[in-house]
Amino acid sequence: MNTKKRLSWLLIMLAPLVTVAQQTTQYPTDYLSPEFHAGRRTAFKEKLAANGVGIFFASQTRVRNNDVDFQYAQNKNFYYLTGLEESDALLLLFKQPVTILNKTGTEFIFVKKRDPQRELWTGKILGAEGVRDRYKMDNVFTNDQFTANTIDFSSIDSVYSSYRNEGIFSKYKRVEDPLSRMANIVDSIINTQKKPIATRSTQMILSSLRGIKQPEEIALITKAAEISCEGHSDVMRAIKPGMIEYQAQAIMEYHFKKNGAEYPGYPSINGAAENSCVLHYETNQRLMNDGDMLLSDCAAEYHGYSADVTRTVPTNGKFTEAQKIIYEIVLKAQDAGIAACIPGAPFNAADIAARKVVNEGLIQLGIAANDADARKYFPHSTSHHLGLDVHDMGPRTLLPGVVLTVEPGIYIPPGSNCDKKWWSIGVRIEDDILITETGSKNLSAGAPRTVAAIEKMAKEKSIFKK
């Protein structure tokens, strides 16, 4: 081995040590705090009617195939109120104090019991003690302690729940799991009360809470958006004809993982040419040719919070004239949509502003005959709330603390009733907008959006391009 080679080997060997030295703790420390979740429970309880109770279940595990489960994903309402990421748990939040299993309070949680045999395979279960310590909750029990006699609903006038409508309970479980057992008990308690109990959805209350992001949540969404922008920027640098859609996806998701984002916020959408016209195309298997554009709708989920970012880029680094004309309309529509995001405006202000630009553009080019015709080419709405869920819940007014997407698009599939030169052009540009006291802030501004900026970035060197 010559000296140069020896030196590079030494550097390679030392690299992990450098990383370890830079890291002060063994695990990330920027999760939401127990105090955050406690504050959200308090805010929820404040909105309950007198003698009301809110009932929340953790998500079930789901069978993927045979004895393999899908990767676990907690129900986001449950996560918002607890921070717990385990299945088989039940949370009860009462307006007035009640006594359950000799404990008096307004908050009770029943969690998975520790099980050394299971923990050998899939890692530590917190158990009641672990949940009490980590999440600073007082009244923690294990789910086997929950029976038909555990709670007395005689003082309860209204029950708030949504668990039967949230896709939590799988019909396809082979055995009755602890979660279904507890839910069946809760159902039967509610249904056998002598006096009438009002049953209400939790969604109205949670929408008003989850829709206005707290500073800690904004920090996590911002981080998710910044990581996503790093991925989009590098795809712009690396993309070239001859790559396959999933290779663009791989570059994108490398940056998510590299930066500590646990998952993509939703299945990555990478559609070239005619696939760019499929709104939620997830197959990502097509070869990308010279002259194609790639519509890449990909974003990271960081500590539970998702970004949602779309960029549409030419595979060879330069837009064709036709592509540029459509792209510029969508960009102008997005600018108009973002400009309409001002505090106090109705939620659909961005949609109205963006759609007007798209409609005018398509009619002027002779692609659409009128507004109704134009809707065929822009068939989705411009915005949704963004947060724990990529399609999050929130108010119908743009209040400070709302985070929403602005994502107009034009999609012209082959065979459309217009000049063939427009066929297979699909463009969406999507950014994540925080409403502030005075206006708005684009959290995903880090990824280039204009034709000039994208073409410039395409000339830069990707970490994947030697």
Applying CB under 5 A, the residues found at the interface with Mn ion are 297, 308, 405, 430
Cα angle 62, 68, 70 (rounded to 5 degrees) comes to 40
Tell me the closest approach of the beta carbon of residue 390 to ligand GLY, in angstroms: 6
Give me the least distance between CB of 298 and ligand GLY, in Å please: 8
Pairing of strands 52-57, 263-264: unpaired
Which residue among 226, 292, 308, 392 contacts ligand GLY (CB under 6 A)?
Answer: 308
Of 453, 428, 221, the closest CA to residue 334 belongs to 428
Residues 336-395 that bind ligand GLY (CB under 6 A): 390
Chosen residue from 253, 407, 431, 432 binding ligand GLY by CB under 6 A = 407
Structure tokens at 384: 């949704």
Least gap, CB of 424 to ligand GLY (angstroms): 20
The Cα 328–Cα 330 span in angstroms is 5
Using a 10 angstrom Cβ sphere, with 0-12 exposed, 13-18 middle and 19 or more buried, the burial of residue 86 is buried
The residue nearest ligand GLY at its CB is 297
Residue of 253, 274, 297, 351 that binds ligand GLY (CB under 6 A): 297
**Looking at beta carbons only, is 156 or 388 nearer to ligand GLY?**
388
x/- mask, ligand GLY, residues 174-193, rule CB under 6 A, reads: --------------------
Give whichever of 125 and 236 is closer to Mn ion, judged by the CB atom: 236
| Partner in contact with 266, chosen from ligand GLY, Mn ion, none, beta carbon below 5 to 8 Å by kind | ligand GLY
Q: Which is nearer to Mn ion, 178 or 408 (CB)?
A: 408
Q: Identify which of 218, 216, 210 has the alpha carbon closest to the alpha carbon of residue 47.
A: 210
Task: Identify the burial level of 363 via C-beta atoms within 10 angstroms of its C-beta, where 0-12 means exposed, 13-18 middle and 19 or more buried.
Answer: middle
Which of Mn ion, ligand GLY, none is residue 301 near (CB under 5 to 8 Å by kind)?
A: none
Q: What is the dihedral of CA 275, 277, 281, 283, to 10 degrees?
A: -10
Q: Does 266 bind ligand GLY (CB under 6 A)?
A: yes
Shortest distance (Å) from residue 201 CB to ligand GLY: 23
| Shortest distance, position 120 Cβ to Mn ion, whole Å | 40
Considering beta carbons, is residue 352 or 418 the nearer one to Mn ion?
352
Q: Which is nearer to ligand GLY, 91 or 429 (CB)?
A: 429
Residues designated as active site:
67, 280, 297, 308, 380, 384, 391, 407, 411, 428, 430
Residue pair 201/161 in contact (Cβ under 8 Å)? The answer is yes
| Size of site (CB under 6 A) for ligand GLY | 6
Q: How far is CA 142 from CA 88, 114, 129, 271, 380, in A?
A: 10, 9, 9, 46, 45
Query: What does the alpha-carbon distance between residue 462 and residue 428 come to, in Å, rounded to a whole number?
Result: 23
Full 3-state SS string of 21-54? HHCCCCCCCCCCCHHHHHHHHHHHHHCCCCCEEE
Using the rule CB under 6 A, is 230 a contact of ligand GLY? no
Find the binding residues for ligand GLY in span 425-444 (CB under 6 A): 430
- Name which of 259, 263, 256 is nearest 231 in CA terms: 256
Nearer of residues 286 and 428 to ligand GLY, judged by Cβ: 428
Least distance to ligand GLY, CB of residue 330, Å: 14
Count of helices and strands (H, E) across the chain: 13, 19
User: Which is it for strands 440-442 and 431-435: parallel, antiparallel or unpaired?
Assistant: antiparallel
Interface residue list for ligand GLY (CB under 6 A): 266, 297, 308, 390, 407, 430
